[in-house]
Amino acid sequence: MDTFSKILNDSYRRVLRRGNKSFVSDASIRQRVETVVLCLRNRAGVRALLAGLLAKIQSPAVDIRKPYTDIAGATGGDCYSGRFYDERYVQRLADSPYRFPINATTAFLTPGFRTKNIVLTMDINLEGRPAEMYKALLELFDSIQNNRVTATTVMDESMRLLVIERDQRQASIEKLVRDINRTADQLPLWACDSFCKSGVISKKTPLFALQSTFFVIFMPHKLQIPHYFFDFKRFLARERLPPNLSGCRNCHRPAAIGRRNCRSDKSAPCM
């Protein structure tokens, strides 16, 4: 195991032993870590944070605020390639045994970090949303560089929050699967009718989109699909739903109030 993988693995083991107790005693720093790690609108921040922490832990002489190797005027060799650490090592956190909820691609190709060659000080305005997440990230970098908190502590706290988020998501998925398994064979025909008439779908929703709604729910978990979902078109026609939801089985023209001649058979009404 290489040095960087060992750093990540050791932090993960400390989190598992610690449980739900925070590693950070300072409430303001703890809040900033949560703002970055638990930001669902933009997951680039957590990857940039982990990349910087990894570089700082491996080489304490590194300035965590300098994740670019070509910063103008930088001297002393305290820069590092955040993208390298992100793509080479942080990416592994998306795989087993971690399976953390992070982006599939590097943070350093997102608008907030792309085409930059500057020191990420607190007065920098990174282009990205939400702004409070980027502000919290810069404040964390500043706190770490000025020794108000150690990189190892922030790494452990970030890992702890990612473990909690991962476990909560997994629990939600398992609960959904149990609920679907319990009700899949018991859904009455009127339940499907109520879904179609509830307003969740538009009158112009294509038939394949309606069928896909149910396949997306059932197929990934290899659950038994109620038989009437396979004959959705016949169900829609039989229930005489609003125009554009049901249609003629021969000419496929949308149904309308009242009966009219079929395009395929001029002498017979639409079916």
pLDDT tens digits, 57-95: 999 999 998 888 876 555 557 888 888 898 889 988 988
Residue 215 has pLDDT above 90, yes or no: no
Which residue has better confidence, 61 or 221?
61
In this prediction, residue 150 carries a pLDDT of 94
Which residue has better confidence, 104 or 212?
104
Residue 53 has pLDDT above 90, yes or no: yes
In this prediction, residue 190 carries a pLDDT of 47
* pTM of this structure: 0.65
| Separation CA 50–CA 97 (nearest Å) | 17
Q: What is the pLDDT of residues 241-261, one digit of tens each?
A: 444 444 566 665 655 444 566
Least confident range from 3-17, 53-67, 185-199, 220-234: namely 220-234
Mean pLDDT of 117-144: 88
Residue 115 has pLDDT above 50, yes or no: yes
Q: What is the pLDDT of residues 170-183, one digit of tens each?
A: 888 888 777 766 66
Which residue pairs from 206-212 have beta carbons closer than 8 angstroms and sit at least 24 positions apart in sequence?
207/232, 207/233, 207/236, 210/236
* pLDDT confidence tier of residue 13, bands split at 50, 70 and 90: very high
Torsion of CA 94, 69, 151, 102, to 10 degrees: -20
| Separation CA 12–CA 59 (nearest Å) | 19
Alpha-helix runs per DSSP H in the chain: 3-18, 27-37, 44-58, 82-88, 131-145, 151-183, 189-197, 207-218, 232-239
In this prediction, residue 203 carries a pLDDT of 47
Please list the residues that pair with 246 across neighbouring strands.
Answer: 243
* pLDDT confidence tier of residue 240, bands split at 50, 70 and 90: very low
| Separation CA 246–CA 78 (nearest Å) | 67
Mean pLDDT of 195-204: 51
> Which residues touch 235 (CB under 8 Å, ≥6 apart)?
189, 192, 193, 228
Question: String of b and e for 5-14 (b: at least 16 CB within 10 Å)?
Answer: eebbeebbee
Q: Please, what is the average pLDDT of the chain?
A: 76
CB 207 within 8 A of CB 233: yes
Residue 172 tokens, joined: 């939600």
Which residue pairs from 104-107 have beta carbons closer than 8 angstroms and sit at least 24 positions apart in sequence?
106/47, 107/44, 107/45, 107/46, 107/47, 107/48, 107/51, 107/82
Q: What is the pLDDT of residues 133-166, one digit of tens each?
A: 999 999 999 999 999 999 999 999 999 999 999 9
Residue 102 has pLDDT above 50, yes or no: yes
In this prediction, residue 129 carries a pLDDT of 85
